[in-house]
Structure 1
Amino acid sequence: MESGWGNFIPVDKYTGKNSHNLFGLKGQGPAGSVRSDTSEFQDGKLVTVETEFRAYHSWEESIEDHNSFLLSERYRPVREASGYSEAAKSLQSLGYATDPEYASKLIRIIEEYRLDQHDIQSPFPDVPAGHWAAPSVARLKTAGIITGYEDGRFNGDSPASRYEVAVIIDNLIRYLGN
């Protein structure tokens, strides 16, 4: 949504410099910035404002920076959300976008295109699918490297004993075939 499906990449209105900014992040980027007009909601009204957008050397750099941006402490509630709906609402409440309908629009797109079918499902009830470690936990469980506790939980905040670490390393060695 941020770039209108890639159709509205900020270009400097004075020099024509392409920002390679796929997500509309504002401020200074690795390749400086560009000045461009954008629509923002201010006091409940949609207005056009000139603003500074981050500029990148490549599309890949834009994606990497966006990932780093979302991995910042500010967006921890988004990563720890129990699902896409909660994550979208967290994005909006944390000021990711000025559109008061941002969360509902994002949820509608996810549901319309059934994008949630690509979500990683956690194999443990105490590891939310949106948790930053959920993909790694799921891969390790699928590979048989970790098993969790007898009650079916992962207990990610519990310290691991030396015995547990030994079993995990042994499972990893067997998985790698050594």
Structure 2
Amino acid sequence: MGKRIFSVVLTSLMAMVLFVPHTHAASVSGDEVIQLAKEHLGTPYQWSGETTAGFDCSGFTYYIMDKVGVDLSRGSYDQYKQGTYISKSNLQKGDLVFFSGTYKQGISHVGFYIGDGNMISATKSRGIAIDPVFSGYWGDKYTGAKRFLANNFFSDVYSEYWAYDEIKQLHNEGIINGYSDGSFGPTDQVSRAQVAKMVGKSLNLNPSSSAQFKDVSSSHWAYGYVNAAVNAGLITGYEDGTFKPDEAISRSEIAAIINRAFEFSNKNSSYRFKDMKSSHWAYDHVYALASNSITSGYNDNTFRPNEEATRAEFSAFLYRALN
């Protein structure tokens, strides 16, 4: 099941990468872009306008992005074909949000996301104004978002960090999230519930309301994803009927979940971790991942199966499995 779903997802992602026009990413922050945009609050609407005398929606985004060095197309439809796709759950200040079916079918409006579910855009009735993105007039017209700002990323994951590419791609695809303060916490331990949700999202599993564990109540933030992961055969609980969702997960447990999800074959890898005996419950899972270059262990030829995994380590495992 996992491979079939993955092949569809990968094909779609490859098409997006191959056919989306290149756009220079600005090094300014989202806050800087929003500050520039807010300077024009109240400026009147003008069809085809792209100056301070008056803007239409794409003229406004074109004007502001030009100020920060982004080579943006002029129309909203063409702007939507540029940038990096961003899921609704990972919107950050300065991302462009797009809407369809306003005065015509297809993409017909664009604005800047400013945080807290709001955007600033050029409206016909009020000129440059602030509106909610997901409710009111715009709510059912929301189509998607694109990112153009290089600095719109986690504050504690820099481009030189060993798992930067892995974390960035999973973040852009809406599979992983950070904390409310803008950080990711790459060295923090990753919990069993977090892994269940992230693997479930990467496989497009629908959250389930069928309760599986006595310690994962319907009010738990990962309730639906934990249930879905059980139904898909990806995770199991403990003999006492618990899952312990908020406990840290070990490297061997992650290996088992990822291998069940993507069904890797063991190619008799040349890797022979000195701390992985054939009697270990996760032996086959670990070597399946090693055979497929998902993991290479540590420099001392160990895998450390019982060591608690970090958020960065899990991101690397999942990224490699998806790619």
Query: Which TM class, normalised by the smaller chain length?
Result: 0.3 to 0.5
Tell me which structure has the larger Cα radius of gyration. 2
